[in-house]
Amino acid sequence: TLNENQFLISGAYGVQISYTDIDSIELRPTLPGIGIKNNGLNLGPILKGHFDVKGLGPSLLFLRSNQGPVIIIYRTEHRQPVLINFADAQQTSTFYQQLQAKK
């Protein structure tokens, strides 16, 4: 959910991220390698929670597809990047554009 000053991912492992806490956002065409699940949910293409990610280290994942694209959010006060995608690639791209406009 996009709000005026932050966005919210609800449910298990949910997080609120203030737009001012976003250091940078990138949209990658493919998913990086997903490693060990530290504390999360793995239901086929759905990955939610804390995982090790190749090249990024410990990360917080909210993935609905094992295909790209994927949004990677780097936050100023947190070491863990947040990775987000939707089952529909266009929805992922649209959400990236909305976040870029809010940042």
pLDDT of residue 96: 97
pLDDT digits (tens, 9 = 90+) for 29-86: 999 999 999 999 999 899 999 999 999 999 999 999 999 999 999 999 888 999 999 9
Per-residue model confidence (pLDDT) at position 78: 87
DSSP the chain: -B-SSEEEE-STT-EEEEGGGEEEEEEESSPPPEEEEEEEEEETTEEEEEEEETTTEEEEEEES-SSS-EEEEEETT-SS-EEEE-SSHHHHHHHHHHHHHH-
Give the model's pLDDT for residue 93: 97
